Chain A
Amino acid sequence: MVDAKNADLGQSHDANTFPALIALHERARGARPAIREKDLGIWQTLTWADVAQQVRTLAHGLAHLGIAPGMHVAVVGENRPRLYMAMMATQMLGAIPVPLYQDAVAQEMVYVLQDAEITVAVVEDQEQVDKMLEVRAQCPALQHVVYDDPRGLRHYADPMLLAYTDLLEQGRTHHAAHPEHVTAAAAAVRPDDTAAMFYTSGTTGKPKGVVLTHHALIDRARAVAEMERLTDREDVLAYLPPAWIGQNMFSYTQLLVSGFTVNHPESPDTVALDMRDIGPTYYFAPPRVLEGLLTQVMIRMEDASRLKRALFHRAMALARRVGTRILDGESVSALDRLRYGLGNLMIYGPLRNALGMSRVRVAYTAGEAIGPDLFVFYRSIGINLKQLYGSTETSVFVCVQPDGHVRADTVGPPVSGVQIRISDNGEILVKSPGLFKTYYRNPEATAETLTEDGWFKTGDAGYLDPDGQLKIIDRAKDVGKLAGGELFAPKYIENKLKFFPFIKEAVVFGAGRDEVCAFINIDLEAVGNWAERRGMPYAGYTDLAAKEPVYELIADCVQQVNADLAQDPKLHASQVHRFLILHKELDPDDDELTRTRKVRRGFIATKYAVLIEALFDARPSQFIETEVKFEDGRVGSISADVRIEPARTHAPQLAKAA
């Protein structure tokens, strides 16, 4: 009951700026925990009253350092309560916090520091201080560097440095001198003032400062808070870089909107432990994190006794069968419910506990395409994991999957207040109260992405499927058309292929052709194990790649993907008709992949032109000799007679995707 009441207070709509929200929580739930940090072995707690109090003092301090409305303050570091409060203090003065990635090297920071005319930077520790000192010459505007953790800074005599505690001290004196200064500044903040600025590292060119208003951020946070019925009793673990809008939305904006508690881990290498401790109720993780956790689980289970493993796998099989349906509240036979209950007692429950997810009520994943198996694993053991879609420019929330309508291949319907339109070239356009105001001092870029009538070009290609859920296909610029004019989204197909553990890389071709063909790189480890279990000897990648059984293995994967595509209203034409397994692994050293392992389509297309022709001419095989660079820089060449295999395709069936 109490929760509900507080919750209402927390959501009460009169507070539309961050300073107002802080004041609200101080009144409504001053004694409730706002920020916890595991420090000195226990969870040190700051109540909303403490936070409000300290933030005001800090604001006075910043004012003393000359921070005025409209100015920018850089915040650099891991998740640390003091850095969060620095952001609040900045906003309280009507100034704008600019979080920077703590792992960026000094020179990467220079541009931002200059572009935003940073005069004061609040940083975590010696590491960040050193960076600031390194770039000070290039950033003359930078006058003060405030540091949280004094360790190792004892002998730094530089006058520009200032300890956080000293800043608070100055804040007190300033407060004594101008008692009203901060309250006045806070009262002057308007909802459509800029609240924060996040720099997005554009794939090309300089990073762009995304300007977001109080209204934009708060409105989106509220929409989701209402949709998910978030109360002030939620616990959130802040473990991703705060400079990333995702983490910032979850552990900062929503914190201030819903008035729940954000928990800061003791150190990066204790996150898992601290997660177990806290057991967040509201959780967010990009697919790679979830992937990592799942691998952990599987590895640890490997050492378990045979009996335990058997039990585990049986339970998991059951979960895959009925788990998600139970979670979605669909009808499941009483017997299965019973068995699932048993499994829950024996396996799922303990597993959630081990992962620190026993208490998770709502969990989101976003950022990249998530493999269906991965996604289903978490849902099947009773963790309400859902996908969402959004970006920095949209204050994150564009689409969120509502409970009960969760699917692996969509990102859900638009959140209330959001409109979505698909441009004729298949790009997703968004209009939402959460949209950014502009790119900071970058009108061209702004003009490119914001239409006059206020639509934001996401740069993603996709479509709304029959039941109104948004389906992301690919980056818009990669989407092409087949000769027949049907949509062709290589990345989408490649991802589908790569979800199979046996397939490491895939490159599909089809733009301007009348059918689709694919290069496959097998995963040497996975397929290698598979081969060994079959007692199939092989000498290295090239040999294994050419084996008949391996081709059958892959062919099966491909036809599964085709079956999938066949059901897709827009992409059924993109089924893979023929594929080949490359005789060598695609390799950054050979410029076939970027350092971040993205395929360089163009380069590959020219390098392996012969193979592509062979594919589309449906030849049985094709000889090729390719140059390769070895680790030691020597150059050699691999030659092989690459087999080309037709893949089974399916007649398009425009049933609803399942």
Chain B
Amino acid sequence: MAFFLETLFGGLMSGMLYALIGLGFVLIFKASGVFNFAQGAMVLVAALAMARFSVWIPEWLGFESLLLANILAFAVAALMMFVLAWLIERLVLRHLVNQEATTLLMATLGISYFLDGLGQFTFGSSVYSINVGMPKDPWFAFESIFEGGLLISLEDLTAAGVAALLVLALALFFQFTGTGRALRAVADDHQAAQSVGIPLNRIWVIVWCVAGLCALVAGIIWGSKFGVQFTLATAALRALPVVILGGLTSIPGAIIGGLIIGMGEKLSEVYLGPLVGGGIEIWFAYVLALVFLLFRPQGLFGEKIIDRV
């Protein structure tokens, strides 16, 4: 029982991360109908930037403080992500308006390849570490209930906490700010939104920035946990089923989907994995999402698609 709960918690933790990345997907898709395959690459680039700048900046400016280094690095990395977002909108999206979804998907594939290359070209391609002073030591909870207590990694807990906070913040932001409303308007109907004077391009830049931010945070958390390297990019791919499950257009869907996948993954890995030789969390999420798709093509919270003739 205790073990089960531990796994469950572990799942929820990574679930929050998935939710975070999933959010990136959803926002971009809502706003521009782009299924942003480059999300993973963005995580990689962001993490790389964070990792390297947090080392380089102190060297350049010659100071010791880890905290300052991290803050500056974060700022620079965030800035970089924003610039990227702007460039992507400028150079790619605006030339592909009203293209078919699959075309856009392929475009983001291209972007993701480019970012992979760029990131490693500029920041190097070996394994780097990020140290944002996350508590590494485990913590035993509910010792009263289970003897020996539940082993919970504080790191995960904080990570989850941070993720949760960011998710919450974003959710609120899009619920209650003007930009949020504008975004939702755009999501509902491009032409209409434009006709009432909502600047599509600006909205796009914004959502890509936000997605970049999500990527950065996710990258930091992941990076500090497993170290920053190329595999991060593919790790992010695991967040895809999340949005499929949650429905491409639903923010809550992304969050809940994230949690479901997170838990499902861990549980399956622990309980099914051994039976079939392990390592199944890579595809389990996908198959889960896929099976789900067959019965509800628009996902948990997505709107039903009616094609008129």
Is there a contact between chains A and B in the complex with CB atoms less than 8 Å apart? Answer: no
- B residues contacting A by CB (< 8 A) are none
